[in-house]
């Protein structure tokens, strides 16, 4: 488990266990859930539609053996069912706001009963943007529930009537892989349910989503030119694990995602001019477009790299990057290449110039 998340979760659970600190625990939990939800938002906003029904770890045993769409569905269907049908005894958001039709499925269960291709087929049915809207509403509704709880509510247990009410919703499949959930939840107190499914369940599935998306990015980048349009090397980029490159549909470059169409202006400009990258452009020196906007922290570093590619080619550029990483400890190239493109170019040249071009 992500160490930072595991530590936060440990702290929250410890605070929730004591009458004097449970309120602080709830506040921290709501804040933590917001942080975790940002990961879902990042994936939903940055990845292409087809990414949500792919299962790159189909043969794995863990939580990553699902799809991105299924993971969102599963986390929030469970939360909606537990928060509304079990704890509050009122109507789930799913039905109150007619989500089955809007998301595009007749399924109302948690999805535990689905296997292999059933998961990919089911995922392909779902309208991910509506699913995301549903997830957000469930999160907000549960946050309200959490904030409304008194210390004594945390010890509340469930009885046979609660169990029957839950079973009667038919939101938990009667198949072996799913039906155990009813007993599992009903044996817990409200405090136990806060631990699972309102916190730990999120962590394990969101971590799995990160593994799925990282793998999809890796697959997308396979065989694709590793040089970004602006001059960065995707192979050496500190975001490389999360980004599928600006040359694929899996581009989640943090700069590109700032634009409504999620396309970096430099990538768009190169495509428009039919250029392989800014390093082929005559206007490179004076260009202030997109990533080269003067007040952008990485502008000079990107330009220095594009200038190097123009002078020495991509092969030499990838080599100089390897050597730069061996020589210096850095994440972003601007930490080394600085804020002046000419000086950045000189630094790259001081590290490596291909032999035939080397002057005596
Ligand atoms: S952020 Fe830019 S340089 Fe980094 S991997 Fe994505 S496209 Fe490549
Ligand atoms: S004008 Fe600027 S952004 Fe466009 S291709 Fe040339 S260098 Fe790149």
Cα atoms in the 13 Å half-sphere on the side-chain side of 311: 19
Angle at Cα 252 formed by Cα 251 and Cα 256, nearest 5°? 90
DSSP letter for 227, please: B
Question: Can you state the angle between helices 128-148 and 22-46, rounded to 10 degrees?
Answer: 170
Mean pLDDT over each residue of the chain, to the nearest integer: 95
Q: By residue range, what is the domain housing residue 240?
A: 234-351
The pLDDT of residue 357: 64
Chosen domain end from 221, 242, 269: 221
Q: pLDDT tens across 153-164, in order?
A: 999 999 999 999
Identify whether residues 217 and 273 lie together within a single domain.
no
Chosen domain end from 188, 221, 254: 221
Please give the Cα distance from 292 to 287 (Å, whole number): 7
DSSP letter for 37, please: H
Q: 28 CA distance to ligand 1 centroid (A)?
A: 33
Which residues, including other chains, have CB under 8 Å from residue 294's CB and lie 6 or more apart?
288
Q: Please say if the pLDDT value at position 181 is more than 90.
A: yes
The pLDDT of residue 257: 87
Please give the Cα distance from 164 to 89 (Å, whole number): 12
**CB of 306 closer than 6 angstroms to any ligand 1 atom:** no
Residue indicated by tokens 């993971």: 71
Which residues, including other chains, have CB under 8 Å from residue 1's CB and lie 6 or more apart?
203, 204, 207
Nearest-CA residue for atom 2 of ligand 1 = 253
Identify whether residues 80 and 139 lie together within a single domain.
yes
Chosen domain end from 221, 247, 274: 221
Residue 226 lies in a domain: no
Which residues have any ligand 2 atom within 6 Å of their CB? 266, 269-270, 273, 275, 278, 281, 283-284, 287, 289-290
Q: pLDDT tens across 267-321, in order?
A: 999 999 999 999 999 999 999 999 999 999 999 999 999 999 999 999 999 999 9
Nearest-CA residue for atom 1 of ligand 1 = 253
Number of the ligand closest to the Cα of 266: 2
- With beta carbons less than 8 A apart as the criterion, state whether 46 and 209 touch: no
Q: 247 CA distance to ligand 1 centroid (A)?
A: 9
Residue 229 lies in a domain: no
pTM for the model:
0.89
Identify whether residues 206 and 285 lie together within a single domain.
no
Identify whether residues 309 and 209 lie together within a single domain.
no
Q: 8 CA distance to ligand 1 centroid (A)?
A: 30
Atom of ligand 2 nearest to the CA of 230: 8
Nearest-CA residue for atom 3 of ligand 1 = 234
Q: pLDDT tens across 222-252, in order?
A: 999 999 999 999 999 998 888 999 999 999 8
Residue 60 lies in a domain: yes
The pLDDT of residue 344: 97
The pLDDT of residue 265: 97
């Amino acid at each position: 488990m992500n160490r930072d998340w595991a530590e936060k979760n440990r702290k929250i659970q410890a605070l929730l266990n004591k009458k004097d600190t449970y309120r602080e625990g709830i506040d921290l939990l709501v804040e933590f859930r917001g942080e975790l939800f940002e990961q879902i938002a990042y994936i939903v906003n940055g990845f292409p539609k087809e990414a949500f029904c792919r299962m790159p770890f189909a043969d794995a045993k863990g939580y990553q053996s699902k799809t991105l769409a299924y993971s969102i569905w599963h986390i929030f269907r469970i939360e909606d069912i537990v928060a509304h049908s079990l704890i509050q005894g009122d109507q789930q958001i799913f039905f109150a706001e007619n989500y089955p039709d809007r998301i595009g499925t007749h399924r109302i269960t948690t999805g535990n009963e689905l296997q292999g291709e059933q998961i990919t087929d089911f995922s392909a049915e779902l309208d991910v943007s509506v699913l995301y809207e549903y997830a957000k509403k469930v999160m907000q509704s549960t946050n309200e529930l959490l904030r409304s709880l008194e210390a004594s509510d945390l010890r509340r247990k469930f009885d046979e009537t609660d169990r029957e009410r839950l079973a009667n919703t038919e939101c938990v499949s009667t198949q072996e892989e799913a039906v155990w959930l009813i007993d599992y939840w009903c044996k817990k107190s409200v405090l136990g349910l806060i631990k699972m499914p309102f916190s730990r369940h999120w962590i394990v599935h969101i971590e799995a989503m990160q593994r799925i998306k990282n793998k999809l990015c890796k697959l997308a980048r396979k065989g694709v030119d590793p040089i970004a349009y602006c001059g960065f090397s995707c192979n050496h980029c500190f975001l490389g694990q999360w980004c599928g490159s600006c040359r694929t549909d899996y581009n989640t470059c943090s700069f590109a995602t700032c634009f409504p169409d999620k396309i970096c202006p430099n990538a768009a400009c190169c495509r428009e001019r039919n250029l392989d990258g800014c390093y082929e452009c005559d206007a490179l020196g004076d260009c202030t477009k997109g990533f080269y906007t003067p007040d952008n922290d990485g502008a000079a570093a990107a330009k220095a790299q594009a200038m190097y590619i123009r002078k020495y080619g991509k092969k030499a550029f990838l080599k100089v990057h390897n050597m730069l990483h061996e020589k210096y400890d850095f994440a972003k190239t601007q930490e080394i290449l600085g804020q002046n493109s000419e000086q950045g170019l000189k630094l790259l040249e001081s590290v490596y110039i291909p032999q035939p071009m080397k002057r005596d």
